[in-house]
Amino acid sequence: MKEFLSREGHPFVVKNIEDDDAAYDELVKLGARAVPTTVIAADDAAQQEDQVITGFDQARLRAALTAAGGGSSPDR
């Protein structure tokens, strides 16, 4: 995941649920029960909701990043 996001030029924050109780609580609040879980913040101008993607699905990640204004092409 980190390699993919770095290669695509997207900033990210890593949270380790084994070392950080607050990160674990955040994961539970999202309704996710697996890692990796990626939260892509909504683009306020488009008034979208944050997107939560569990697992590593490049097509979904690219589409969500593009929709959020991340600039990556979904079919790249």
pLDDT, tens digit (0-9, with 9 covering 90-100), for 4-22: 999 989 999 999 999 999 9
At 74 the pLDDT is 41
The residue with greater pLDDT, 46 or 73, is 46
Phi, psi dihedrals of residue 60, rounded to the nearest 5°: -65, -40
At 42 the pLDDT is 79
Nearest CA among 21, 17, 13 for reference residue 34 = 17
Confidence (pTM): 0.77
Interacting residues of 75 by C-beta distance below 8 A, sequence separation 6+ = 62
Cβ contacts of 8-13, under 8 Å, gap ≥ 24: 8/62, 8/65, 8/70, 8/72, 9/71, 9/72, 10/65, 10/70, 10/72, 12/38
pLDDT, tens digit (0-9, with 9 covering 90-100), for 29-61: 999 989 999 999 877 666 578 899 999 999 999
